Structure 1
């Protein structure tokens, strides 16, 4: 059964990868003077064999590159001192299909995956009552910190339109999963919203999963019934097959040389029983629900495999008759079921909070106004520290942006700043669109 989680950072983090696309161009792109191409985005695993969904515009046209083409690298997250960050070494990916029309989506394949990976559940539904907060989990700005940012929907998808979310989706977050209230993915973050070429403050666009699947066409068929079903309430129990390979040391007791006249009387070459076993951990995020016929490099070995009660450990054993101890390779076909991620994320999380304000007051002279805002900590969390402040847009701010600090009890961020706006005959405005990245911890 594919699990669903209300807090994706805690349970779905291991399926979110930082994408790095790079190569050498035939000639510089318009507005650029370099042939070195490098772009970053986010992708997420949607099958046990390493299929990855992302935004289509993250994958460039191969025709603009030299004979070596372009390369796609992916970096999985791991725990760092505070929360989660993408780490080396990278995996390699290839593009199966990338489209920007009618919808912006790409399907990739990890080419050097060594074992099955936890993958995310995809569906079409989301809570429409009230104004629930939906979450995007990705790598904003190409930063290696895995960061969550949330906001409500501004409008649902129409017949031929995307989802509009009140979430700023900046470069690096393109291709990140948009989670519903059940912790399932119902959209792919694409980028900031624009109208007539003008960006809409702290507003983003996401492709509905149903339209991503239809745009990919036949290439998306391996996802149907495995990670995707339109009904979020439907339980998916895909039969996942894999194999676990381990070395087993077959050990023999020393012969009883007294039966052969002492150590000089022979007996070392006399066949005698040998046996050995090893315990293998099942890939993270899975449990074994069945095994196939065990195979050894040496066909003379009689082997067996047993599974622990929780399905997380596989014991592989073998025995034969021979004259020496040795190591042999074993392969056990296994049938797997996805479970909650065993390797829990740290209690601390990277979380980003948007701040947007426009001063549009116009008197006889320039208007200057000081603001003091507070952003409360998310339910169940406290603020630990400020990581950074990024400005999407800043105009006519005598304070040159914000001053922000964590309240002593961690319950909120205190934010101070100043804006100016012009007189009635000029009517220029002051505004600020900021993204405040923090570390939050569980209460």
Structure 2
């Protein structure tokens, strides 16, 4: 093996090490920036996916033939108004009857659709305004942004691509801004039409309506279109305005939770064995415990040992239990056990970074 080939391999290894070092530095830099800036994506999804609607639209002709497709929409008012893309709703003249349903996210596989009605549409902007015939309780409202979007902004798209039952959450950047359209590189597919495009604070800046899939006979990928919400003020209902800041609402501020505590002690000695325990049950993620609503219990312990009383922690993020169990001596193998159910009332707290969901100026 020649000295030249050895030098070549050494140079090749050096080049690879250089690339790896550069990649490592880039990854560490991106991680540091992400940590510094905060990742609002998970917060936005958790807070807003319940307000994203899977749209089921069917047109029925006089001869009984049907046509339509599924799409996405999102709630914009507590009174049950929903925005979607106009082309999701069949409007061929042959369809004499329109059947519309909407299922609230984020998971729709086992949910029953609620009836929707068409209020008005704008084919020039490819936007339709729908309304729940009977608005479901506790609607999550997505706020509309009142300031223009800027090229390069981080954005997210929520929707139900390809008829999938769970709300998908995709990210991208804003590529261009015009009066009647904004573009993005976020991946969208059939079924995303009508879905919200939101900024890094969760404010809606656009409504997905299409994509360029080919040009001059060649497939392309990377340019998707949305209607800017600032362009559709004429279609919005009276209680909604894209020129006034809105605050997002949450699906449920108060929840009622049932937890279980179960423990068995099987230590056996020459006499009864008594042991003390300290158990902690946390509140649900994003909630604090406001009150104990009820306690049920069973136990094989002697009557002299009292059942534990749950104690809510000072920060209300957990409750604790202090108690003892008794197991019998070795000759009778008696176990000590306790089963409890604890009902609590818990209140949602904001886990969002200061900038996320803080108002849509």
TM range (shorter): 0.5 to 0.7
8 A Cα contact 2:54 2:108, kept in partner: no
Q: Aligned pair in 2 of structure 1 residues 87, 43: CA closer, same or farther (>3 Å)?
A: farther
Q: Does 1:108 align with 2:136?
A: no
Give me the whole-angstrom Cα distance separating, in 2, the residues matched to 1:20 and 1:197. 33
Which shows bigger deviation, 46-55 or 187-196?
187-196
- Selected match of 1:121 from 140, 143, 158: 143
- Selected match of 2:158 from 113, 137, 141: 137
Give me the whole-angstrom Cα distance separating, in 2, the residues matched to 1:175 and 1:237. 21
Q: Aligned pair in 2 of structure 1 residues 119, 49: CA closer, same or farther (>3 Å)?
A: same
Q: Residue 222 of structure 1: SS of its match in structure 2?
A: coil
Q: Does 1:18 align with 2:37?
A: no
Q: Residue 221 of structure 2: SS of its match in structure 1?
A: strand
8 A Cα contact 1:76 1:86, kept in partner: no
Q: Does 1:89 align with 2:107?
A: no
Give me the whole-angstrom Cα distance separating, in 1, the residues matched to 2:129 and 2:240. 11
Q: How big is the shift at 1:70?
A: 1.6
Give me the whole-angstrom Cα distance separating, in 2, the residues matched to 1:133 and 1:114. 32
Give me the whole-angstrom Cα distance separating, in 1, the residues matched to 2:74 and 2:229. 13
Partner of 1:152: 173
Q: Residue 174 of structure 1: SS of its match in structure 2?
A: coil
Partner of 1:192: 211
Give me the whole-angstrom Cα distance separating, in 2, the residues matched to 1:14 and 1:187. 18
Partner of 1:171: 190
Partner of 1:202: 222
Aligned-residue CA RMSD in angstroms? 3.5
8 A Cα contact 1:169 1:203, kept in partner: no
Partner of 1:276: none
Partner of 1:220: 237
8 A Cα contact 1:126 1:181, kept in partner: no
Give me the whole-angstrom Cα distance separating, in 2, the residues matched to 1:237 and 1:165. 25
Partner of 2:95: 65
Q: Aligned pair in 2 of structure 1 residues 343, 20: CA closer, same or farther (>3 Å)?
A: farther
Q: Which runs of 5+ in 2 are unaligned?
A: 1-39, 255-287, 292-346, 352-361
8 A Cα contact 2:57 2:99, kept in partner: yes
Q: How big is the shift at 1:17?
A: 1.0
Partner of 2:75: 45
Give me the whole-angstrom Cα distance separating, in 1, the residues matched to 2:213 and 2:232. 20
Q: Aligned pair in 2 of structure 1 residues 162, 237: CA closer, same or farther (>3 Å)?
A: closer
8 A Cα contact 1:95 1:109, kept in partner: yes
8 A Cα contact 1:16 1:76, kept in partner: yes
Partner of 1:381: none
Q: Residue 121 of structure 1: SS of its match in structure 2?
A: coil
What pairs up with 1:219-298 in 2 under 5 angstroms? Answer: 219-224=236-241, 228-229=242-243, 234=245, 236=246, 284-285=251-252
Partner of 1:211: 231
Give me the whole-angstrom Cα distance separating, in 1, the residues matched to 2:203 and 2:74. 12
Partner of 2:181: 162
Q: How big is the shift at 1:99?
A: 1.7
Give me the whole-angstrom Cα distance separating, in 1, the residues matched to 2:199 and 2:221. 23
The structure in which a higher percent of residues are helix is 2
Give me the whole-angstrom Cα distance separating, in 2, the residues matched to 1:343 and 1:39. 38
Q: How big is the shift at 1:195?
A: 7.4
Per-residue CA distance 1:120-167 (angstroms, 9 max, x = gap): 1101436637x343110000012112101121122112x4x3101112
Give me the whole-angstrom Cα distance separating, in 1, the residues matched to 2:123 and 2:164. 24
Q: Residue 10 of structure 1: SS of its match in structure 2?
A: helix
Q: Residue 23 of structure 1: SS of its match in structure 2?
A: strand
Q: TM-score, normalised by structure 2?
A: 0.54
Per-residue CA distance 1:384-403 (angstroms, 9 max, x = gap): xxxxxxxxxxxxxxxxxxxx
Q: Aligned pair in 2 of structure 1 residues 86, 212: CA closer, same or farther (>3 Å)?
A: farther
Give me the whole-angstrom Cα distance separating, in 1, the residues matched to 2:98 and 2:216. 29
What pairs up with 1:326-365 in 2 under 5 angstroms? Answer: 342=348
Per-residue CA distance 1:75-120 (angstroms, 9 max, x = gap): 1225xxxxx445321100000001211x111110001224241201
Q: Aligned pair in 2 of structure 1 residues 125, 38: CA closer, same or farther (>3 Å)?
A: same
Q: Which runs of 5+ in 1 are unaligned?
A: 28-33, 79-83, 241-282, 288-309, 314-340, 346-443
8 A Cα contact 1:177 1:187, kept in partner: yes
Partner of 2:331: none
Give me the whole-angstrom Cα distance separating, in 1, the residues matched to 2:116 and 2:168. 22
